[in-house]
Structure 1
Amino acid sequence: MSQRAFLYNLQFIDNQIDKILDRIASIDTKINSNQEIVESENILKSIQAKFNLKKAEISELESQSNILSKILLQNNNALYDGKIKNPKELQSVEDEGISLNKRIKNLEDRIFDMMLENELIEKELNNQMEIHQTLSRNKKNEIDELNSEKLILIESLDKLRIEKSPIEKQIKNELLEKYAMLRETRSKMAVAVISENACSACGNIITPAEIQKIKSPIDEYYCQICKRILYYN
């Protein structure tokens, strides 16, 4: 087998290796990409913070209402225990009771409205939790599938590298260096085959005389246009 035939076979394996490596890189990117999860988590934290804040506000109002209710109870006890005899003092206690009742009623109304608001926030929170859990579950399933595919690809990669080794050993070092440079500078195609009397890479027409040389066992023959190694398969 000629050196160019070995190079052609080497390129075939290298192309497969490149495809596998590209796919593995793509898999790693997908596995490490969690933007959707991060965004969902940020939304969840934002709603949770809003829910907690509203809950704290309700708790504060309830605390104020409880304090006023205790004061009102003391006020009513003072009003009805018969100890206050002065009419002006009685009137003052009654007025304070009316004021306390109004303030308590106002607080209770605010608490009720805020509890309704927080119910809506809680529904939003529960909905976002479900969304986040679904996204997390789907991501885990995706990662499991991708890791399974990656293992299969790595096994294939190992086999290809085993196949590649004996082929490389058949090729002269100088030619391997040229091959590597051409792959790097010619879109990973160092060896082009003759197809319909033309270079398969650039379309340059190959004369019958040139084809005869390409068919010969000489180590190197390059396309005059794209400078790739030509091989007649």
Structure 2
Amino acid sequence: MNQPEALYRLQEVDLDLLRSQKRVKEIALVLANDEVLQAAQSDVKAAQNELSPLRNHLRQLEDEIEVNEDKTRTTDQQLYSGNVKNPKELQDMQQEIESLKRWHDELETNLLETMLSVEEAESRLNQAEGRLRAVADSRGEEHRQLLEEQTALQAHIEQAKQRRQHVLKEVAPENLKIYSTMRVRKQNQPVAVMSGNTCSICGVAQTFAIEREVRQGVKLVSCSNCERILVSL
């Protein structure tokens, strides 16, 4: 994936997030005057806020364990390959392996503790959502539908945030800075698809030179009119 494509994917996720967050606010306004409902919603939100960082920490620990195991395996192979003859180097490698194994044991312990915490937090979230559904049932069909939509949107927002973190790994820091700056000036759409040789947002046809550079995807190329970053899909 080239940089223009990565930025376009990032924009799609950001626009999805904005739409979902806007709708959540609209639903919140409709439900704002119901104190019992608000309390149940707050419990769900608190449970979600507790669970989300625990899940993130769990993924981080899993990644750290994978890196640790790869490093241990590589060092172990080097140690017994016969290529290293220096006794001091061999001793250092043995000590490094022992250190990595100790760290692996600590990571495994943390992983198990975090898994238990995640299970407990998931249980609290399920209970809070159950109470919220019970309150919703007493508020009539309209509120029930709104709450179902809100719950689905909140889950969708969390998934979108995770997708955003994944896409960010594909974006160079300097290009992310450009994207973020332009996003303010371009109504959250700093990237435009080039359809044929035309900017899909402002409708202006590009020169042959610009069209060629956009299709190559080697660098960021701006629309000659609206100055958005052009991408060829």
Range class of TM-score, shorter chain = 0.5 to 0.7
CA deviation profile, 1:192-214 (whole Å, cap 9, x unmatched): 01123211111111122221111
Q: 1:223/1:165 Cα in 2 relative to 1: closer, same or farther (>3 Å)? A: same
Deviation at 1:152, TM superposition (A): 0.6
Q: In the alignment, what sits opposite 1:165?
A: 165
Deviation at 1:221, TM superposition (A): 0.6
Q: In the alignment, what sits opposite 1:140?
A: 139
Deviation at 1:14, TM superposition (A): 1.2
Q: 1:219/1:17 Cα in 2 relative to 1: closer, same or farther (>3 Å)? A: same
CA deviation profile, 1:82-108 (whole Å, cap 9, x unmatched): xxxxxxxxxxxxxxxxxxxxxxxxxxx
For 2:25, the aligned partner's letter is: A
Q: In the alignment, what sits opposite 1:17?
A: 17
Q: Is the 8 Å Cα contact of residues 11 and 191 (structure 2) preserved in structure 1? A: yes
Q: In the alignment, what sits opposite 1:183?
A: 183
How many Å separate the matches in 1 of 2:185 and 2:220?
18
How many Å separate the matches in 1 of 2:158 and 2:146?
18
For 1:180, the aligned partner's letter is: S
TM-score (norm 1): 0.52
What does 1:58-77 correspond to in 2, within 5 Å?
none
Q: In the alignment, what sits opposite 1:30?
A: 30
Q: In the alignment, what sits opposite 1:104?
A: none
For 1:212, the aligned partner's letter is: R
SS for the counterpart of 2:230 is strand
Name which one, 1 or 2, has greater alpha-carbon Rg.
1
Q: In the alignment, what sits opposite 2:2?
A: 2
- The count of residues paired between Structure 1 and Structure 2 equals 131
State percent identity of aligned pairs. 26
Unaligned runs of 5+ residues in structure 1 are 35-136
**C-alpha RMSD of the superposition:** 2.1
How many Å separate the matches in 1 of 2:33 and 2:222?
44
CA deviation profile, 1:171-201 (whole Å, cap 9, x unmatched): 1122112112222211111100112321111
Deviation at 1:224, TM superposition (A): 1.9
What does 1:68-87 correspond to in 2, within 5 Å?
none
Following TM superposition, the consecutive aligned residue runs of length 4 or more in structure 1 with deviations greater than 6 angstroms are none
Q: Is the 8 Å Cα contact of residues 192 and 231 (structure 2) preserved in structure 1? A: yes
How many Å separate the matches in 2 of 1:10 and 1:139?
41
1:213 aligns with 2:213: yes
CA deviation profile, 1:31-60 (whole Å, cap 9, x unmatched): 1158xxxxxxxxxxxxxxxxxxxxxxxxxx
TM-score (norm 2): 0.52
Q: 1:166/1:138 Cα in 2 relative to 1: closer, same or farther (>3 Å)? A: closer
Deviation at 1:218, TM superposition (A): 2.2
1:227 aligns with 2:227: yes
SS for the counterpart of 1:194 is strand
Q: 1:176/1:139 Cα in 2 relative to 1: closer, same or farther (>3 Å)? A: farther
What does 1:100-111 correspond to in 2, within 5 Å?
none
How many Å separate the matches in 2 of 1:204 and 1:215?
17
Deviation at 1:217, TM superposition (A): 3.0
